[in-house]
């Protein structure tokens, strides 16, 4: 017998004793849980810690319909590979630590917040506050990493980010999210043809002025920055808060012909540009950056 979902078709109670689930080489299953046709357990998959989805050719999403309150609340590791019909992946989960998404040809967004904002005040801490690793590879339709409001989200534990072959992605982080990246050590980006900004410019000046310490360093733990084959990227960091990168050791940037500046140099009141401070820089490699200016 074929099933389009696990809950309620396989187990109406929600399979909430599972701690590990691997789904591989299936065609019929479309989602883990479907809430569109009636009541399902609010604690569906509540105890699941690790979820692996591979070669599920008909799989479209984790939850079809309104997300139950306890859904995947203990999930720590999420991996999706070669799921060519998947269009969306995960709600923003407080306990999630690792996310790897590879070769999901229809995926348009990784994390969703708009469907769970009604419960944010009941959360014990910020969403995604335990996420340490994020890898996104070969996602040609990916437009957004974060869909919906991110003001209840913190990337305070994120240390490693790798993104490649995501050609429709225009930016990685909002200014609000970027200010929470206090532990990020490695950022690697390659073959993202549509990428225009790592940190989007949207309303950044207003956010800076509202901070108690407006010039505190952004990305204070960043050590390795690697960017290659991003033809629309004009700046690495356009925000003034990235003019001091105290731990940055390795910078390798290549094959990004529209890149004009590594950093946006702001000026003091006397018109002199504020110095870029990179006290730990050991290895700087720049190649095929035909529009790069050092002004």
| Alpha-carbon dihedral angle through residues 112, 116, 122, 123, given to the nearest 10 degrees | -20
* Mean pLDDT lowest among 142-151, 228-237, 269-278: 269-278
Instruction: Determine the Cα–Cα distance for residues 88 and 177; give it in Å rounded to an integer.
Output: 20
40-96 pLDDT tens trace: 777 889 999 999 999 999 999 999 888 888 889 999 999 999 999 999 888 778 899
What pLDDT, on a 0 to 100 scale, did the predictor assign at position 239? 66
178-220 pLDDT tens trace: 999 999 999 999 999 999 999 987 554 444 444 444 456 789 9
87-143 pLDDT tens trace: 988 877 889 999 999 999 999 999 987 545 445 445 467 889 999 999 999 999 999
Quick check: 35 pLDDT over 80? yes
**Cis omega (within 30 of 0) for bond into 71:** no
What pLDDT, on a 0 to 100 scale, did the predictor assign at position 207? 45
Instruction: Determine the Cα–Cα distance for residues 18 and 13; give it in Å rounded to an integer.
Output: 12
The pTM for the full model equals 0.89
Per-state percent for the chain, helix, strand, coil, to nearest 5: 5, 30, 60
Tell me the mean pLDDT in the region 6-21: 88
Q: Partners of 23 in the beta sheet?
A: 53
What pLDDT, on a 0 to 100 scale, did the predictor assign at position 216? 64
Q: How many percent of the chain have pLDDT more than 90? A: 56
What pLDDT, on a 0 to 100 scale, did the predictor assign at position 2? 58
Characterize 259-273 residue by residue with b for buried, 16 or more Cβ atoms within 10 angstroms of its Cβ, and e for exposed: bbbbbbeeeeeeeee
What pLDDT, on a 0 to 100 scale, did the predictor assign at position 150? 83
What pLDDT, on a 0 to 100 scale, did the predictor assign at position 295? 60
User: Are 102 and 135 contacting, i.e. CB atoms less than 8 angstroms apart?
Assistant: yes
């Amino acid at each position: 017998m074929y099933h389009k979902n696990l809950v309620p078709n396989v187990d109406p109670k929600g399979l909430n004793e599972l701690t590990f689930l691997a789904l591989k080489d299936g065609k019929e299953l479309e989602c883990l849980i479907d809430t569109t046709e009636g009541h399902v357990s609010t604690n569906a998959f509540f105890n699941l810690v690790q979820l692996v989805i591979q070669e599920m050719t008909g799989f479209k999403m984790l939850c079809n319909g309104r997300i139950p309150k306890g859904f995947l609340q203990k999930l720590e590791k999420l991996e999706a590979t070669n799921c060519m019909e998947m269009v969306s992946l995960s709600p923003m989960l407080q306990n999630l630590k690792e996310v790897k998404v590879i070769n999901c040809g229809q995926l348009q967004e990784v994390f969703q917040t708009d469907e769970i904002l009604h419960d944010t005040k009941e959360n014990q801490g910020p969403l995604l506050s335990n996420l340490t690793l994020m890898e996104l590879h070969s996602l040609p339709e990916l437009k957004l990493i974060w869909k919906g409001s991110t003001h209840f989200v913190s990337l305070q534990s994120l240390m490693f980010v790798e993104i490649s072959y995501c050609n429709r992605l225009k930016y990685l982080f909002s200014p609000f999210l970027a200010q929470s990246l206090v532990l990020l050590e490695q950022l690697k980006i390659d073959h993202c043809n549509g990428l225009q900004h790592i940190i989007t410019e949207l309303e950044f000046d207003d956010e800076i002025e509202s901070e108690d310490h407006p010039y505190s360093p952004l990305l204070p733990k960043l050590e390795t920055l690697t960017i290659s084959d991003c033809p629309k990227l004009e700046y690495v960091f356009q925000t003034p808060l990235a003019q001091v990168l105290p731990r940055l050791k390795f910078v390798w940037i290549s094959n990004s012909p529209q890149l004009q500046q590594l950093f946006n140099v702001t000026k003091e009141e006397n018109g002199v540009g504020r110095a870029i401070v990179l006290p730990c820089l050991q290895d700087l490699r720049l190649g095929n950056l035909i529009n790069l200016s050092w002004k």
